[in-house]
Every structure is written in structure tokens, then in C-alpha cells.
Amino acid sequence: MRKVPELSLLSYVNGSDADQIKFVDDIFSGLKDYGFIILTDHTIDQNEVDNAYEMTDRLFNLPEDQKMKYYVEGLGGQRGFTPYKREHAKDNANPDLKEFWHVGRELTEGPYKGVYPENVWPSEIPEFKQTFHNLYNSMDKTAGILLEAIGRGLDVKQGFFSDMIADGNSILRLINYPPTVGEDTKNSIRAAAHEDINLITLLVGARGAGLQLLDRDGTWLDVETKPGQIVVDTGDMMSRLTNEVLPATTHRVINPEDSGSTRYSMPYFVHPHSQASLACLPSCIGEGKKYEDILAGEFLSQRLAEIGLM
């Protein structure tokens, strides 16, 4: 019976050298074998997550005309609101049955100030900005710890990933999957089969089931979590860096048996800064590079166009 591995991040943060070595081995093998792991404990305060889901519920229950005030044409959905059925999976013409909101990095200075879009904040929910500023920063720190551990497994120099994601274009996405009553559920599902664009994704305790990964034998495997756990998966940027040693795993969110149910989820997509190179790591070249060298910003623009956001 295949089951996504469960690991303790605190065993790495607070543990002995032996504990850290075991965690590095386990996260590396889990991501290599499944493309996913589940953190049973971590460094994110559950109160921050609970507050964020409360804000998410309030946001998506605003009237449509109020949400549309925060949709910005030409941004590729990188900040603010993206309406229902606007995004589709790569090479799939059928729209996903979801709407979402993006929160990005708040920069006060540096080379990417003015390059990344500014955040958009809903005036109807005064606490929204601080709530998601706090959660974004917590998830960013946790992502840095995870990438440090992954980097040890990839034999890169210390600080390789922390340099790559410093001032990175990481995104916290709040997703609403509304009831599917009356929708074309034969052709569209909540999130069609896809791989994430970024390095790694952290998903904090989704409110509702439906996430599945495509296992190595071609079958769909349910990704089941308990409250307080975090799902971690690898994206296309990590796959390119590692020559598919750590592949991006196809996953989806299927439609619910109860067509009247709603699902919320909150993935944090960890992106490098725009000028970071996605060239294959020396430790992963093997018999030759599978991908041409490309910068992270260039790759992101390509993929946003492929999924209908630009």
C-alpha cells in the first residue's frame, strides 16, 4: 500500500546531527520516489493558519463585483484576484473550477522593487493584510529550512538555495473551489492534472479533500493529511535544476462527491528571484542535461502563458 511519507521537520530543526542526516535522507528519498512528503510538525504557528483560513472564507464570500475590483488585467494573475474558471492546466483547454487570490513578497528596496507587482489588499477586510503578511513570512522561513535540507541531499554549497530565494518571487495562493452544482464536471475538475511551476510548494492543511498525486505506476494516490500538517511537493524549477533527480510530480484536485461542498486551500509556491539560473546542478548532470539553461523569470513567464494567465 503506497502512502506519502510523513516526516518531522522539528527533528531537523531541533535534533542532533544524526537526526538531521536522517531527515535529509528521508526528504530526499520521499521527494525522489513520490514527489511529495507530509510534515507532521513544523515551524508555522497553527493560529496563523486558522486566522488565514478565516480571512479566506470572508474574502471569497464577498459579492462578485467587489472581488472583481481586485482583478488586475495584464498581471498574469500574479497579485490580487483571479476570477472563476480563468486558469487551465497546461495543454488542457478546459478551465479549472476554482478562483484564487495571490499575495506576493513585500519589498521596500532592492533590485526587484518595482519589478515584481505590488500586492493588492481588499479594503473590505482590514485585518487581511497583516494576517497574510505574517503567514507569508512564516512560510518563507519554513521553506528556507526545507530547501537547506534538500540542498544537503543535492551536495550544493551551503547557502545555495537561500541565495536563490532571497527576494524571490514566491506566491501565497488562496484558492476557493466552489460547489460544482451545474458545472461541466465531465470535462472540468477543480484542478486538472498539472505540475507546479516553482521549486517547492508548501500546502497548509486544506479545508476539504480531493488532492491526488500521479504515482510512478500511473495510478492516482490520495494525499490525505490531518489538521496542522503541511504537504510539500517539488515543481518544474526543481526538476530542471536537478535533471529530474527530484521530478515535478503530476497532481490534481478532483471534484467532490457532494456537489454542494466548498474547498479552500492555501499553497505557498516557492520561487527564486527572477535572475536565478535554473541550469542543471553539477551533481545531477549524469549522462547529460535534459533541459536548456534558463533564468527563473523567463521560465515563469513561459509557464504563465501556457496556463492561460498571460
Write the pLDDT tens digit of every residue in 138-175.
999 999 999 999 999 999 999 999 999 999 999 999 99
- Provide the pLDDT for residue 28: 95
Spatial contact of 297 and 169, defined as CB atoms under 8 Å apart: yes
Q: What is the mean pLDDT of the chain?
A: 93
Q: Could you tell me which residues are beta bridge partners of residue 222?
A: 212
Q: How far apart are the first and last CA of the chain?
A: 41
- Is the per-residue pLDDT at 310 higher than 70? no
Spatial contact of 85 and 96, defined as CB atoms under 8 Å apart: yes
Q: Could you tell me which residues are beta bridge partners of residue 177?
A: 263
User: In angstroms, rounded to a whole number, what is the distance separating the alpha carbons of residues 136 and 131?
Assistant: 9
User: In angstroms, rounded to a whole number, what is the distance separating the alpha carbons of residues 116 and 274?
Assistant: 9
Instruction: Write down the architecture of domain 6-306 according to CATH.
Output: Sandwich (2.60)
Grid cell locating 57: 472564507
User: Buried b / exposed e across 167-191, counting CB within 10 Å, b at 16+?
Assistant: bbbbbbbbbbbbebeebeeeebbbb
- Residue ranges covered by each domain of the chain: 6-306
CA–CA distance from 107 to each of 114, 128, 166 (Å)? 9, 18, 11
Q: How do residues 179-228 score in pLDDT, each as one tens digit? A: 999 999 999 999 999 999 999 999 987 677 899 999 989 999 999 888 89
- Provide the pLDDT for residue 82: 95
- Match 492561460 to its residue by C-alpha cell: 308
Which of 67-71, 106-110, 276-280, 305-309 has the lowest average pLDDT? Answer: 305-309
Long-range interactions of 85-91: CB distance < 8 A, separation 24+: 85/188, 86/308, 86/309, 87/307, 87/308, 87/309, 88/192, 88/307, 88/308, 89/191, 89/192, 89/193, 89/194, 89/307, 90/194, 90/303, 90/306, 90/307, 91/306
- Provide the pLDDT for residue 30: 96
Amino acid of residue 269: F
What is residue 71's three-state secondary structure? coil
Q: How do residues 91-133 score in pLDDT, each as one tens digit? A: 899 999 999 999 999 998 999 998 899 999 999 999 999 999 9
Q: How confident is the model at residue 245 (pLDDT cuts 50, 70, 90)?
A: very high
